[in-house]
Amino acid sequence: MTNDDQETVRQLLTFLPFFERPGLDVGGARAEQVGDTLTIYPAEYVDELYSFFARVVPPFADRDYLSKPVDQWLQHPTFLENSSPEQLRTILTWFCRGERFCLGFWEAHFNNGNLLRALRRLQVLEDCDFYFDAAAAERVLEQAKSYTAQVGEVIEMQVVNADGSPMKVNEPNHGG
């Protein structure tokens, strides 16, 4: 992620204490039935939710989010807790754009805990300075495997924080 992306993540994380408030009602869609007529009103949310999603815009947003199986990712019970920074960018973009096409989308993903779990994962990654280009990491791993196969030596690799301390890293999640 770029420095601008890291700044966006820091801004998004400022909302975490608000969203973690017990019993928080973020608002949402409402419907009213009078006789045979059902009226559905546009969703209304707390200002903090609008402000949060206002930060999930280009260049941070994933412009290619529709090509990724986010709905399938979220069906896996631990996917969010193991997501990479790039996957989280895609998921947050998907959340952000979803309200435009599905009334009450934000409300549903707040109430089912997905939004909060994504933010908590961002916090974990922020705490350990875990920002990288997933494609670059894949290339390094492939080069290490290739070298090991050619030379027969085992390469030991360790991921470290910016200060040089060892970092605990989850197994990469390759989009499935």
Tens-digit pLDDT string for the chain (176 aa): 677 888 899 999 999 999 999 999 999 988 899 999 999 888 899 999 999 999 998 888 999 999 999 999 999 999 999 999 999 999 999 999 999 999 899 999 999 999 999 999 999 988 775 554 555 556 656 666 666 666 666 555 555 545 556 655 443 444 44
> 140 Cβ partners below 8 Å, 6+ apart?
none
List of long-range contacts for 158-161, beta carbons under 8 Å, 24+ apart: 161/128, 161/129
The predicted structure's pLDDT at residue 155: 54
Domain ranges of the chain: 3-151
Q: What is the pTM of this model?
A: 0.70
The predicted structure's pLDDT at residue 169: 46
In whole angstroms, give the CA distance from residue 146 to residue 149. 5
> 24 Cβ partners below 8 Å, 6+ apart?
18
The predicted structure's pLDDT at residue 166: 60
